Structure formats: structure tokens, C-alpha cells
Amino acid sequence: MRLHHIPRTIHPRQEIPSDQPYRLSTEWQGLLLPVLFVTLLLPHTAMGEAFVPKQAQSVSAQPSHLYLVAQQSLGPEELNTIAVFEKAAQSVVYITNTAVRRDIWSLNTFEVPQGSGSGFIWNRQGHIVTNYHVIYGADSIQVVLDDQSTRDARIIGVDPDHDLAVLQITGKTDTLMPLDIGNSQDLRVGQRVLAIGNPFGLDHTLTTGVVSALGRSIKSVNDRTIEGAIQTDAAINPGNSGGPLLNSAGKLIGVNTQIVSPSGAYAGIGFAVPVDIVKRIVPQLIQHGKVIRPGLGISLIPDAIAARWGIKGIVIAKVLPGSMADKAGLQGLEETANGRIRLGDVITAIDGETLRTYDDLARMLDRHNVGDRIKLGIRRNGKEHTLSLQLQAVQ
């Protein structure tokens, strides 16, 4: 028996009688006993397998590293969120705009950054949907795509009443990934939603939440009422404006537009323009560059003046010749021979719903299409009347 590289207690060539037990010195026992103990516990160490305690073996017959991976695996909800984000993020863009300013001393013109926001790809023709307030007052617009390429863009059409705008980018567009479009009429309070945007310039940021409420009324940038807005607690911050609000299937259900916050930062209340409005407005902006709205063919007295006159309702100032209102017999203000103004018709209701302001009238007309017939309630010479009227296209 020959030992190497360890302390020797016998000579290498010394023979040990077979009838005498082989005894190791105290030093040898101190070295070999731990080795034997570890060898018994790890019978498969030479094969590269890790030690698995009996308790763990009873739980799973798989090696321990697989067991640990299973402990760290993602749940179905997380996997769905990841899949939705990775697909939808390809359709979300970052929008920056600049304005031209003139130096008051040198009279030289220069561009200054004016604002930024988010948007999303509508189709493969390069149309981008965003908020009107994101590009308001812009002299030049740049769009950063998912592949980090920057494209110049031009404004195709805007609708301040619903805070929507459509841009079109330059360059190759056949590789663009349009966002899947859903609907907002079947939304339920409590269902999961995802918001993707570029808050504070941080591109492709995902936040999640739920539909907090439906049917909210919010004010657009021109103080018009947007009906049916979606309220959500998904974090929406400056820079998220114009980005998509998605359902758990990754389909567009709204366009993030504004928040309610005393500080200007996220406070748990955000609003999105419902996609059913977006689907109605965007095709018109692409085709006509503006929204073709249903109307009556009249001009109105401002609400503040009507209130000063003590009149309740919407005062008709003028009826356009040949309009549907003219054909229905509506009357506007009239100047008498002595120079006084005689009041004409005052609109009080549409289809039985009371109207008090111009915003009420616009909100009601927004629910209809060109060619629809309505029952218009008016007050003439102190008496109430109801007229049947067909809506016409107005700009």
C-alpha cells in the first residue's frame, strides 16, 4: 500500500501482518473520516449530479436545478402581459415636435423643442394616431419608431374637439406593424388594461391597471366635452399622451389623453378617448383632413351673451339659405325697421333631451350621423314647438 502527498505514519515498504488490524493514526482519521462522510452523501458527484436531500427527492424526482427553475417560473397572467407588450410595442412610437422662433436681436430663425408624446401606427401607409395637443403649434415633427429610426412626419388632419390628430411619416412603410383595433362598447369596470407610452421621454414604458369607470365626460383642449371617456388607474404621466390603452388581448380600446392630478404627475386617475370615437374620426381625417360632422346649417349666439340677455337655451343667430334648417322653417335673429333686434328661435331640446348650451348641442349632434332625422325642440315667441329635421354635413 502506497500513499502520496499526505503525512505518512508507516514506511512505504513496511509490510503489515494480515492477522493484525490496520490502524490509522489520529491524523489520518481526522482527514479520511470527513472524506468518507461526504462520499456517502454524494454518491453521484463524479457524474456531475448535485446532491438532493431526501425531502426534496420526495417532492420531485427531477434534479434540484430544475426544481428551482420551476419555483421561479412566470404565471399565465404575467406571460400574457409580456406577450401583449412585446407585440404592441412594435406599433408604439415616440413623437417630438419643434417650433420655429425668431431671435429678437439678430432676427435669425431657429428651432426650439416644444413638446413630446406618444402615438401608434394605424396602418401600413404610415399613418400615426396621436393626441392633438401633442402636435399643437408644431412647425416640424419627428417620429421615432420601434427600431429607433427617426422619420419626419406631416400633419394629415386634426380634431381638437376629441383631442385627436393623424400624422404620416416619410420613408419606407411596408414593414410597419399596425396596432390591432378593438372596441369600447363592451368594456366592463374592473377589466385589466395596459398603457404603453413614453413618459418623460422614457420610451416603451408599460403600466398596467384596470378600467376604473366608464362613460366619463372630460374637456378637450378647446373646451369641448368628450363623452364616454374611459377612466383607468394605469399610470399615465406626461409623455404618455397619444399612446394606446389596450385590453388583455392586446387590442386598442382607447387613446390616453389626460390625467387628474394636483401636482401634474400621476395620481391614480387617467382618461382615454374611447376607440369607438377614434374609429369614427380617424378615417375622416385621413380621407378629408378634417371631420365631417352632422349639423343643422345655422350659426349661434355665444352662450355668454345669451345668458346676459337672460335667455335659457341656444339662440339661433342666422339660418343659412338652402340649409336643412332653412327648409324646416327655423328662424334666426331679425333686425327691425327701427334698428332693434328681434329674437328668433331658441333651441331647447333634441329628441326630448333638454339642451342649455352650445356644448350640449354639439354633444347631442355627435351621437348622430349625416342624414339622420331628429326631433328638434324650439321656443318661438314664448311657445314651445317640435320640428322634424334631417341633419346635413357641416364643417
Chain-centre distance for alpha carbon 180: 13
Question: Which residue among the candidates 159, 161, 163, 360 is catalytic per the annotation?
Answer: 163
If you write DSSP's letter for every residue of 97-110 in order, what string do you get? EEEEEE-TTT--EE
Q: Identify the three-state secondary structure at position 365.
A: helix
Q: Is 159 a catalytic residue?
A: no
Task: Identify which of 184, 211, 192, 197 has the alpha carbon closest to the alpha carbon of residue 249.
Answer: 192
Closest CA to 347 of 387, 307, 320: 387
Contact 311, 346 (CB under 8 A): yes
Annotation marks residue 180 as catalytic: no
Marked catalytic residue, from 241, 345, 360, 366? 241
DSSP letter (8 states) at residue 89? G
Please identify which of the residues 116, 133, 184, 360 carries the catalytic annotation.
133
Cell of 387: 320640428
Secondary structure of 153-194 in HEC code, one letter for each residue: EEEEEEEHHHCEEEEEECCCCCCCCCCCECCCCCCCCCCEEE
Which amino acid appears at position 271 of this protein?
F
SS3 (DSSP) at 202? coil
Residue 47 DSSP symbol: G
Helices (H) and strands (E) in the chain, counts: 9, 22
Q: Is 385 a catalytic residue?
A: no
Count CA atoms closer than 13 A to 30's CA, side-chain side.
5
- Closest C-alpha to 241, from 254, 228, 258: 258
Hey, which residues are catalytic here? 133, 163, 241
